[in-house]
Amino acid sequence: MSSYTAAQRKITEEITTTLTNVNSEDVDRLIAEINKAEKVFFVGVGRVLLSLKSIAKRLSHIGIQTYVVGQITEPAITDKDLLIVGSGSGETQFPLIIAGKAKEFHAKVAHIGTNPESSMSKYADLFIRIPITSNTEDEGAVVSEQPMKSLFEQSLLLLGDTLALMMVDEKNIELNSLWEYHANLE
């Protein structure tokens, strides 16, 4: 077996195991909150932010008003809106500060992370756990052999695509109709 084959198998097996163990009821609740919100905001840092930007774009393709915190055209958040925080640890300072600000404006906050007991829990109305860990004692969690937190970022991105597909199915959206939301200045 080539080293490429071994590495890709390891990665895809980790992702499959991780996504299989995400609580589907929590995902359903997140979809309900997205559907209720007037606007959906996203905040994260680093590679997590890259995954969140992809999710925001994918949801915009199905007609959801999405914004990434800090983008120049970001509108005000209100009590009719949802902030989705991506933070594996739930301890990253910038997302914590933004979640606190969102709560000041009575917005809903959903945290996608690995640690339900994190500092983010005081702001989150909803927690979606991506079950990965560096602790082999954490039952039901995947211990990754990948560098850094790659498995979290990969799983976050695919969780976002899963949300979008579920919403397309739920709303009986014809896939070809989604092209009207795709960027056309490229």
Q: Which domains does the chain have, with CATH numbers?
A: 20-169 (3.40.50.10490)
Catalytic residues: 153
- The b/e string for 90-117 (b: 16+ C-beta within 10 A; e otherwise) is bebeebbebbeebbeeebbbbbbbbbee
Distance CA 184, CA 2 (A): 41
Q: Place 12 in a pLDDT band, splitting at 50, 70 and 90.
A: very high
| Whether pLDDT at 174 is above 90 | no
pTM of the model: 0.92
Q: Place 149 in a pLDDT band, splitting at 50, 70 and 90.
A: confident
Share of the chain above pLDDT 90, in %: 79
For residue 101, the model assigns a pLDDT of 98
Distance CA 74, CA 31 (A): 22
For residue 35, the model assigns a pLDDT of 97
Average pLDDT over residues 20-24: 96
Determine the Cα angle at 111 with ends 68 and 153, to 5°: 70
Task: At 143, list the tokens.
Answer: 């211990």
- Alpha carbon of residue 2 to chain centroid: 33
Higher-confidence residue: 138 or 6? 6
pLDDT of 105-141, one tens digit each?
999 999 999 999 999 999 999 999 999 975 555 666 7
Distance CA 106, CA 152 (A): 28
For residue 142, the model assigns a pLDDT of 75
Query: If you write DSSP's letter for every residue of 3-64 in order, what string do you get?
Result: HHHHHHHHHHHHHHHHHHTS-HHHHHHHHHHHHH-S-EEEE--HHHHHHHHHHHHHHHHTT-
pLDDT of 155-166, one tens digit each?
999 999 999 999
Asked if 129 and 141 count as a contact pair (C-beta separation under 8 A), the reply is no
For residue 147, the model assigns a pLDDT of 67
For residue 9, the model assigns a pLDDT of 92
